[in-house]
Amino acid sequence: MLTNLILYKYSDYNRNKWQIDENTLKNSNLEKCLVMGSGQNVPFIKGLIDNTKNEKISLNFKGTEYSRFSVNCEFKTNVPLGAGGAVFLTRAYEIVLLNNLSLLFTVNAGKSLSKVGTTLLSYSTTNDPSAIESLALDKNKFTSLKDWIFSGPLPGQIKKITFNNVSDESVFYKQVVLSAENLQNAKLFTKLWSSASAISNLSFQTPLLRTSNRSLTCRLSYWGALTIYTGGVLESEIFELLRKISNILI
């Protein structure tokens, strides 16, 4: 079974200022977020309100290393027109916050749905609904990730990549996708890595992890979506992976 995470971070300004208060969490909702919103965040929160009902966030666990939250809501979902258009369906998912890194992730929630929980968490921990930000991985960050993949005595490999805006022999390609085992050994991969201006996503096998003595096969997108294909993934493996690459992500 796939594990789908979406990674977020506290903004630089709020990274060491957030506080978890259980009562504030319980009493938070999107209408209160809207009151505290500003600038471009106001229409964004209004959009969430239009698509969400009965939203709640609660604290499941607060520890020294990480904290866990539950998000419950009714979220508008499009269905075939013959079935009546859009309906509100009950949804529930978790958010895990790595306390020392101010890095967090939603578990098995789509991009739009995950924003409900991160907006509520941002408001309830900082009084600012925009304090939690999406990740933005540029080519330099993917280069640092590639360097980490091949670090250590038992390195990983690259399995698939999507390059954007590639110039090669007077031809401009909007997108080029390569897929192969040990793709990093291909001359074409090296050539395109040099000539591409951006990378959309990278599928890779991690170096051997200490917590489980195995590697994970993952796919990371430029906007922070992390899919783990390895079955039976342990939470400790996810934590180790994110700790290893936190300096890249943040």
Query: pLDDT for 190-240, tens place per residue?
Result: 999 999 999 999 999 999 999 999 999 999 999 999 999 999 999 999 999
State the average pLDDT over residues 173-184: 96
Contact criterion met (CB below 8 Å) for 141 and 7: no
Amino acid at 56: K
Residue 84 has pLDDT above 70, yes or no: no
What letter would DSSP give residue 203?
Answer: E
State the average pLDDT over residues 110-118: 96
Is 53 in a helix, a strand, or coil?
A: strand
Is 248 in a helix, a strand, or coil?
A: helix
Residue 243 has pLDDT above 80, yes or no: yes
pLDDT confidence tier of residue 40, bands split at 50, 70 and 90:
confident
pLDDT of residue 169: 79
73 CB-near residues (< 8 Å, 6+ apart): 52, 53, 54, 55, 56, 90, 91, 113, 116
Amino acid at 145: L
Least Cα distance to 229 among 238, 218, 215 occurs for 218
State the average pLDDT over residues 115-125: 98
Residue whose pair of structure tokens reads 């992890």 in the numeric block: 209
pLDDT confidence tier of residue 167, bands split at 50, 70 and 90:
confident
pLDDT confidence tier of residue 11, bands split at 50, 70 and 90:
very high
pLDDT confidence tier of residue 83, bands split at 50, 70 and 90:
low
> How far is the C-alpha of 211 from the C-alpha of 237, rounded, in Å?
6
Residue whose pair of structure tokens reads 């959309």 in the numeric block: 200
* Beta carbons within 10 angstroms of residue 66's beta carbon: 18
Q: How far is CA 131 from CA 85, 88, 106, 224, in A?
A: 34, 27, 16, 16
State the average pLDDT over residues 66-78: 94
Q: For the chain, what is the total number of helices (H) and then of strands (E)?
A: 7, 11
**DSSP notation for 8-44:** EEE-TTTTTT----HHHHHT--HHHHHHH--TTHHHH
pLDDT of residue 153: 86
Residue 160 has pLDDT above 70, yes or no: yes
Is 194 in a helix, a strand, or coil?
A: helix
pLDDT of residue 80: 64
